[in-house]
Structure 1
């Protein structure tokens, strides 16, 4: 038998592995006394080389001492190189002595040549020891394999050590709420695991099995940390979206909502226990629900500003509100500019029409406020209060300038009129007296004191304070004198307290007539909503006393049996509607009740069908689900899904389910518990009859 045996590819049957002696070669003697080499192999461990010597054994030298392990005279020393270790077995009559050096502990392996064809396998280990095994054959191939295998082992372990450090750094970033930085810490970690596993397979199956076990564990930890990081990123993006929305930054808000959804979806794709799949899906539903509300949010917010302006009586304050509304409507037109995919539900043609009408209102109110201040200045001028008149003229000029600016931007047809007004006020500021002295008596002393108290004739916040606010001290300083004047109103001298009630009445009527003479708002921007049965915060079927509305204990439309006349026919007509037709009918029903509605079910990922909003008698926003299932059931899961979407939405007060199906008992119970209103086909029919919408069926 050769002194060095290459065991690559051997199935474990070679003589050096299976026997204790060398058959047929008496002069060679016995190999080992206790166990054949094959019995030392672990599961999946593969032999690579076998070496033997008869007398030299193995020499171990270290910093403290050296020792020589030699076989007994009848036996030999054998070295077995595997994919895990270098095993030294020294034959002894009393029992073989075994030493091993794991490949992970070897720093270097080399072959030293000596005299008489003698070659020594030399191993340098981490504990600063040297292992030498002499042989009468060339040990270079053995040393080369051991050195390469040891380096692969070391490289694989180093890569996995680095991954462990990266995971620890990533968890620290999670604790400090820096998931973005954490992703940077984990960069390339999975690639290192893959490289380590790929390289270690070159060594052998046992080595691969050991490293793969650690690699799998680290991959699982890595995925779990990434899952938590993506979830944290989603939560942060969600919070940023809500903050941007609150600040009126709609497009950044939409982008943050999209980032939140993507982060949560990536968290779902990463394996890990925290957060759970259900928790992540619940977060995604919440974000999608809010994102769908945001799609109509700019329209609703702009419309709210428009309504607020329409409800403001004082022209100066109203003009400021109209400009705010105008800014909102202009922003609507800029949303999604240049994008193929629309993130917001905006009817651009309708918005352009409303923008023009709002601009008209803003210009009109600025002009009216300026006209009133101009007339007040003329009154002061007739009283020879020049300094105070100049201050009031400057207020008038400010209002005319704002109106002129808007007119040049959006309504050029008003420019000529406003330039004429500006010329007039400029003449006044230059010292020209009015051609006609106002018929009304001059301002009272308290009016003059109030104007003197202001800063250079301007209100404290010209863009905010109304004309009423700027002269609000007049009544207080005058002790409530009814005759004291405000800009644009008739004034009465301080000493004239002898007017009759009839005179006061006439003056009030005159003021009222003056207000009525103002032009109507374009496009009915100040129109009031119609009233009707409340289908908002309560179930529409709840009783309304004695007016024949739905649920009136059989009064009105319901007969003695509690059913509508012809209810079977109406239910049949409802059941024949398509889903889109049914949704449109429900939206129109809510509009008939005085709500502003927006249909959103056509949007991808929509979790509800209609958003309804109103400001009177309370400001409310509700989400409406249309479940068109004639002859089928509405379950508790349907109700719970609606409640979940409502809770995760921003600004929605109420959830309403309108259905042609039959709510189960558990659905009704869930609706009561979760405060979800259910409108079934009977109640829907009653509402349609009351509002005169049955012809839509």
Structure 2
């Protein structure tokens, strides 16, 4: 039997009314033909008021009062109006022909627009107008003033409750749209708004009945599940986006940028797992992705030095001096970057032994300067051979290439190998003189591009 709430009806509801069946006699009131009144009330509903009549039944009319249908009880039976925390149920015992069965009309409190009623000398009645523009009128042998007051309050509470939940659902739809458009931050903000609206609906439920209304609670729980699912999907989407971005930055040697993106992905996966609040099996997919991020972070911490060592090894393996110089340039840049990462920061993100990195910078810088100087010397010898053969234009090209090699390494020498600066400058002056001599000795004049 449903719980009987007495906050609005101190006298409660007579259990015999909820459980009785059968027709009445000359000196007794009837009930319903077959199932008792209580069987027409949902198990999760609480009965607040019951009103009845023996002859008038229930009338359906248009908003302006034009009668459309009248449902009256059979002989010896009654019509009942049951107000619960969720519906107004009208059950008509038997029917006019006396052949049964009982008939039931139910209107959800959220669908009621207007409640009216009056207590009169001969007959009392209450009227509800629904959102579908149907007017139901129920005369009552008992006073209806408290019933009307309750329905007025209850329908208002349900309307506010439904408004909040509808707002939450609309925001969830918007959040999904923003997630699909990769607007993850905006999507999460919208999810939070949906969560706030759901909590506001919960407040309306508690204000209506402090212990809660099962029908309201069920709707709230469904919406809360959607909020959680949408939040998890959005967090996972943002984490995946950050993970992809991190790997892209890593490939471009932007280790600091990659680290921040990996950390962002890590935080979102951790939050998503916590929000999901399910057992291990249900969150296994997210946990695997989180483990992948953690492995990448561990590898990234070692990457600056490792990538520098890889470039240096390629330089040693290269037989061509130009390839070796280019590889040494990359190695030097990576070792210098490793030194600069976490500089002055208390939070160490990368596993960099600064003494080792400093030693690598000095060693690679010296190797690079020497390699560029050898390249310059080789191109000068080639230029001299062309000049002796009378090919001044070809000679000039070789000398200019030699000059480029020396100029490109001069800044490195000044900063990292200062003892090599003066010899390089002298070498560069000599090469420049050869360029001028080759230009002056070209009897055919300047070639295209000179």
Tell me how far apart the structure 1 counterparts of residues 138 and 437 of structure 2 sit (CA, whole Å).
118
Q: Determine if contact 2:396/2:439 at 8 Å carries over to the other structure.
A: no
Q: CA deviation at 1:174?
A: 7.4
- Pair 1:297–1:209, CA change in 2 (3 A): same
Match of 1:414 in 2: 420
- Pair 1:32–1:339, CA change in 2 (3 A): farther
Worse overlay, 142-151 or 344-353? 142-151
Q: CA deviation at 1:347?
A: 0.9
Q: CA deviation at 1:83?
A: 1.5
Q: 2:68 aligns with which of 66, 69, 83?
A: 66
Tell me how far apart the structure 1 counterparts of residues 46 and 87 of structure 2 sit (CA, whole Å).
10
Q: Determine if contact 1:6/1:50 at 8 Å carries over to the other structure.
A: no
Match of 1:266 in 2: 271
Q: Say if 2:370 is the partner of 1:369.
A: no
Q: CA deviation at 1:305?
A: 1.3
- Pair 1:372–1:55, CA change in 2 (3 A): closer
Q: Determine if contact 1:29/1:74 at 8 Å carries over to the other structure.
A: no
Give unmatched runs, 5+ long, in structure 2: 1-5
Match of 1:82 in 2: 84
Tell me how far apart the structure 1 counterparts of residues 314 and 104 of structure 2 sit (CA, whole Å).
93
Q: Secondary structure at the match of 2:213?
A: helix
Deviations 1:186-208 (A, max 9, x none): 44333333333332344459981
Q: 2:214 aligns with which of 189, 197, 209?
A: 209
Match of 1:318 in 2: 324
Tell me how far apart the structure 2 counterparts of residues 217 and 300 of structure 1 sit (CA, whole Å).
51
Matches within 5 A, 1:619-658: none
Match of 2:3 in 1: none
Q: CA deviation at 1:342?
A: 1.5
Q: CA deviation at 1:427?
A: 3.1
More helix by share: 2
Q: 1:125 aligns with which of 124, 130, 143?
A: 130
Q: Say if 2:405 is the partner of 1:399.
A: yes
Match of 2:305 in 1: 299
- Pair 1:206–1:75, CA change in 2 (3 A): farther
Tell me how far apart the structure 2 counterparts of residues 217 and 91 of structure 1 sit (CA, whole Å).
36
Q: CA deviation at 1:47?
A: 3.4
Match of 1:223 in 2: 228
Tell me how far apart the structure 1 counterparts of residues 76 and 50 of structure 2 sit (CA, whole Å).
19
Q: CA deviation at 1:146?
A: 1.0
What is the number of residues matched between the two proteins?
429
Matches within 5 A, 1:126-275: 126-133=131-138, 141-161=146-166, 163=168, 183=188, 186-204=191-209, 208-269=213-274, 270-271=276-277
Q: CA deviation at 1:253?
A: 2.1
Q: Say if 2:52 is the partner of 1:47.
A: no
Match of 1:493 in 2: none
Tell me how far apart the structure 2 counterparts of residues 324 and 77 of structure 1 sit (CA, whole Å).
91
Match of 1:8 in 2: 9
Q: CA deviation at 1:76?
A: 7.5
Q: Determine if contact 1:364/1:403 at 8 Å carries over to the other structure.
A: no
Tell me how far apart the structure 2 counterparts of residues 310 and 124 of structure 1 sit (CA, whole Å).
90
Tell me how far apart the structure 1 counterparts of residues 284 and 90 of structure 2 sit (CA, whole Å).
56
Match of 1:277 in 2: 283
Q: Determine if contact 2:315/2:324 at 8 Å carries over to the other structure.
A: yes
Tell me how far apart the structure 1 counterparts of residues 15 and 309 of structure 2 sit (CA, whole Å).
90
Worse overlay, 297-306 or 410-419? 410-419
Tell me how far apart the structure 2 counterparts of residues 356 and 135 of structure 1 sit (CA, whole Å).
100
Tell me how far apart the structure 2 counterparts of residues 258 and 91 of structure 1 sit (CA, whole Å).
68
- Pair 1:326–1:198, CA change in 2 (3 A): same
- Pair 1:318–1:82, CA change in 2 (3 A): closer
Q: CA deviation at 1:327?
A: 1.0
Q: CA deviation at 1:68?
A: 4.8
Q: CA deviation at 1:221?
A: 4.3
- Pair 1:112–1:386, CA change in 2 (3 A): same
Give unmatched runs, 5+ long, in structure 1: 21-27, 435-447, 458-697
Q: Secondary structure at the match of 1:188?
A: helix
- Pair 1:223–1:432, CA change in 2 (3 A): closer
- Normalising to structure 2: TM-score of the pair? 0.76
Tell me how far apart the structure 2 counterparts of residues 379 and 185 of structure 1 sit (CA, whole Å).
74
Q: Secondary structure at the match of 2:133?
A: coil
